Amino acid sequence: MANGSLANDVSYLEYEGKHKGIMGWLLSVDHKRIGLMYLMGILVFFFVAMTLGVLMRLEMLTPGETIMKPSTYNSVFTLHGVIMVFLFIIPAIPAVFGNFMLPIQIGAKDVAFPRLNLFSWYLYMIGAILAIVSLFTGGGAADTGWTFYVPYSIRSAQNVSMTTLAAFVLGFSSILTGLNFVVTIHRLRAPGMTWFRMPLFVWGLYATSWIQVLATPVIGITLALIMLERFMGIGVFDPALGGDPILYQHLFWIYSHPAVYIMILPAMGVVSEILPTFARKDIFGYKQIAISSLGIALIGYLVWGHHMFVSGMSDTSRIVFSLLTFLVAIPTGVKIFNWVATLYKGSIKFSAPLYYVLGFIFIFSIGGLTGLVLGALATDIHVTDTYFVVAHFHYVMFGGMGIMFFATMHYWFPKVFGKMYNEKLAVVACTVIIIGFNVLYFPFFIMGYMGMPRRYYDYLPQFEGWHILSTVGSWILVSGIVFMFGNLFYAMLKGPKAAVNPWGGTTLEWKVPSPPPLENFDEIPIVTGGPYVHNKSTYIMHPSKESINANGANKTVNQEAAL
Amino acid sequence: MHEGSSHGGAHVHRDDEGSKMAMWLFLFTELLLFGGLFLLYGAYRFEYADGFKVAAADMNSFIGAVNTIILLTSSLSVALSIAAIQRNQKRLTMAMLWFTILCGIAFLINKYFEWSHEIHNGIYPGGPALENMSNGEVIYFGLYYVMTGLHGLHVIVGLIFIGFIMNFISRDKITSTNYQKLENAGLYWHLVDVIWIFLFPLFYLLH
């Protein structure tokens, strides 16, 4: 049976084409190299934004000025948000692991438009550099919060224009990646891979890509209008000229709410990959999970108004948006119950990626349920713009996407680098991260409920105890993260060689060598069944060779002929 | 054997159907980009119906109509260029594309005169004439400059796109059997045309 050994191919990491050394990476159109280039950029920005987050926590350790001035604090939380949202959370899983794994999982040699793919990476880097440059030029870093709400963003003397330009460019990169993925999934699936034989990670990426394509242009024009307002004062958002700031909020959230699902859907896709592998069991309710991704994407478009319950919308629209918001819970609940059902009576093998997934289910459930508190009108009005909201979106964004990003790195690490990490240390790091996360963010719920407003520089003394607890949590969390990256980085350099399929996964990426060769497959495989069938292979890896073998030809002779 | 053609660097991969699909998706994103502005136009027209009527009365619908005719004609010529390349008539293809480019430039020249006339009269964001106008008129002209300006930008991008395509045709990279790039350029140019078809009544005809 084919085990995907392509011994005569060099891996994509060692392959040398037209360009050598660093240019071999910067000019590479190979989806795997581009994925790794995204990974490098994204990790750098993650560390920058994490550092900003720690600085904010230090500032909030005691009331009054601790380590920075109020204006600096405004810039720090804006940049923390902008970098985390636009440079890390939105692109991380689709751009890194989507690029790397999508073509392999559907049995393709590359994405549909490899050069466009490289161009997206350059756009991402240009956007990122603009964001960094905006820190040090103009009147200083933007201080509006990552939402750039008017009229403050029009009047602020800080460098808002450049930061919005950065987000604009990043949006372009996101659109092109989404477009590339949609066409790739439609056009490049291997023979026999019908829609309902695609791995669920691919389904997650497919839903995400549609949101990227259909929502991002709206934020593009919204941010462009902020720049035009600042430079020319056209008046559409400026109340002094008759414009309406609430229209800005509508346009902003028409994108930015679906963007929340850009963040979480790929992460949910990875959950659906990891669970069947480590439960050694077919996933429960494959079709329901696949379709619920599209359901979340679809309803995700209709709920943006729940960010604006206190902005002065009409009562009717508030009630409608509140109702629609509750509907998102249905496809999300479908996923959660199917995941738990997959574990039921599974032959579970506990290892680091699965620990992260279990942590994710715990944290994301808290995040999701507190979402109902915010989606319901009456309770939202009590906790709006408090730390409760901050806690909620850190639970769903960091706890959902961030924790799953760590899980993804552990799950596909052997495939990407061909090395194994230290399992015990990975589990320790995971435990520290999950504990630190909850110690850091759970007090936010309590403080928010007690009335601590978000974005405030100073606070009343009764919150001090909770702030101290939370700040201590940030230290635990950061040590866990640093420890985790240390473990992975060491493994990348010195780790033992990984097997082709260390976890017993059933999808196509586990049939090709670790790390994969340049073109993934020397011959496009044929798919004969669903992606999560254990005990039986559903892929024919060397179609022509196997037909020759079936005719009685000698396999070794064939391999020699291939040399 | 494995170091042969299949590993020669870039993946050689041609998929006309896929590239057309990508172009359509991209055009959707362009529609949505303008969609945000159309939404603003609708909301403000509802809020300031009177101001919009007063402001629109100032517009020169003759220039607008001329520009509409020019763009529609250019859409025809781009379509004809695709028909020509399918019949392997390279010179006719080039002629049709040259004609399209001339139309695009004529459109921009018209736009230039129109804008400079208004700017001369002090009608521009922050301009002296706007200070005496009502909020509705200010926003009308704000949207007018943003929407026609963004459309003008798309005309320029379309012209550059067609320029590249003509370069490909002259070097025989686009031929009667491989003309998907030209078709995509044509689709883009039609989009520019279609958006104008909406802008024209919104700004010039609705009094």
Looking at residue A138, its pLDDT comes to 77
Nearest Cβ partner for B139 among A114, A235, A522: A235
Q: Which residues of B touch A (CB under 8 A)?
A: 1-2, 6-11, 13, 15, 17-19, 21-22, 25-26, 28-30, 32-37, 39-40, 43-44, 47-48, 124-126, 134-136, 138-139, 142-143, 145-146
Confidence of residue A546 (pLDDT cuts 50, 70, 90): low
Q: Radius of gyration (Cα) for chain B, nearest Å?
A: 21
Please list, in sequence order, all residues whose beta carbon lies within 8 angstroms of the beta carbon of residue A426, skipping any fewer than 6 positions away: A351, A352, A410, A484, A487, A488
Let me know: does A368 contact A429? Beta carbons within 8 Å.
no
Residue A254, pLDDT above cutoff 60: yes
Q: What DSSP string runs through A104-131?
A: HHTT-SS-S-HHHHHHHHHHHHHHHHHH
Looking at residue B14, its pLDDT comes to 84
Residue B60 is given by DSSP the state -
Q: How many CB pairs under 8 A join A and B?
A: 123
DSSP E strand boundaries for A68-219:
none
Length of chain A: 563
Give me the phi and psi of B87, to 5 degrees please. Answer: -90, 10
Length of chain B: 207
Looking at residue A537, its pLDDT comes to 84
Looking at residue A554, its pLDDT comes to 42
Quick: pLDDT tens for A393-449: 999 999 999 999 999 999 999 999 999 999 999 999 999 999 999 999 999 999 999
Residue B206 CA to residue A491 CA, distance in Å, equals: 68
**Distances, alpha carbon B144 to alpha carbons A386, B41, B90, B114, B201, in Å:** 39, 9, 40, 12, 12
Mean pLDDT along residues A287-301: 92
Inter-chain CB proximity A214 and B29 less than 8 Å: yes
Let me know: does A236 contact B143? Beta carbons within 8 Å.
yes
Looking at residue A541, its pLDDT comes to 87
Which residue is listed with tokens 């939380």?
A77
Residue A94 CA to residue A104 CA, distance in Å, equals: 14
Nearest CA in chain A to B8: A17
Nearest CA in chain B to A209: B25
Residue B187 CA to residue A332 CA, distance in Å, equals: 38
Residue A4, pLDDT above cutoff 50: no
Residue A511, pLDDT above cutoff 60: yes
Quick: pLDDT tens for A307-366: 999 988 889 999 999 999 999 989 999 999 999 999 999 999 999 999 999 999 999 999
Inter-chain CB proximity B36 and A17 less than 8 Å: no
Confidence of residue A548 (pLDDT cuts 50, 70, 90): low
Enclosing H/E stretch for A1: none
When the pLDDT of each residue in chain B is averaged and rounded to a whole number, the result is 90
- ipTM score: 0.89
Highest-confidence segment of A145-154, A255-264, A282-291 = A282-291
Inter-chain CB proximity A236 and B9 less than 8 Å: no
Min CA distance, B103 vs chain A (Å)? Answer: 27
Question: Could you tell me which of A406, A420, A290 has the C-alpha nearest to residue A359?
Answer: A406
Beta bridge partners of A453: A386
Residue A556, pLDDT above cutoff 80: no
Identity at A435, one-letter amino acid code = I
Mean pLDDT along residues B191-196: 96
Let me know: does A67 contact A151? Beta carbons within 8 Å.
no
Angle of the A543-550 helix axis to the A555-562 helix axis, nearest 10: 140
Residue A293, pLDDT above cutoff 60: yes
Nearest CA in chain A to B43: A247
Inter-chain CB proximity B142 and A236 less than 8 Å: yes
Quick: pLDDT tens for A139-185: 788 888 888 998 899 888 888 999 999 999 999 999 999 999 999 99
Looking at residue A129, its pLDDT comes to 92
Confidence of residue A547 (pLDDT cuts 50, 70, 90): low
Residue A8, pLDDT above cutoff 70: no
Residue A23, pLDDT above cutoff 50: yes
Min CA distance, A465 vs chain B (Å)? Answer: 46
Residue A495 CA to residue A437 CA, distance in Å, equals: 28
Inter-chain CB proximity A243 and B29 less than 8 Å: no
Mean pLDDT along residues A114-119: 95
Confidence of residue B8 (pLDDT cuts 50, 70, 90): very low
Residue A396 is given by DSSP the state I
Question: Could you tell me which of B206, B207, B187 has the C-alpha nearest to residue B198?
Answer: B206
Let me know: does A86 contact A131? Beta carbons within 8 Å.
yes
DSSP E strand boundaries for A435-489:
none
More confident site: A82 or A483: A483
Angle, vertex CA A250, rays to CA A247 and CA A253, nearest 5:
145
pTM: 0.91
Quick: pLDDT tens for B148-176: 999 999 999 999 999 999 999 999 999 99
Quick: pLDDT tens for A262-272: 899 999 999 99
| In chain B, % of residues over pLDDT 70 | 94
**Distances, alpha carbon B160 to alpha carbons A113, B91, B100, in Å:** 21, 20, 12
The helix/strand/coil state of A301 is: coil
Let me know: does A8 contact B2? Beta carbons within 8 Å.
yes
Residue A483, pLDDT above cutoff 90: yes
Let me know: does A190 contact A525? Beta carbons within 8 Å.
yes
Quick: pLDDT tens for A363-385: 999 999 999 999 999 999 999 99
Residue A352 CA to residue A130 CA, distance in Å, equals: 36
Mean pLDDT along residues B77-96: 96
Mean pLDDT along residues A455-464: 93
Looking at residue B12, its pLDDT comes to 58
**Distances, alpha carbon A309 to alpha carbons A23, A250, A317, B21, B52, in Å:** 51, 11, 9, 39, 30
When the pLDDT of each residue in chain A is averaged and rounded to a whole number, the result is 90
Let me know: does A212 contact A177? Beta carbons within 8 Å.
yes
Q: Beta-carbon neighbour count of residue A24 at 10 Å?
A: 15
Task: Please state which of the ranges A397-401, A521-525, B36-40 shows the lowest mean pLDDT.
Answer: A521-525
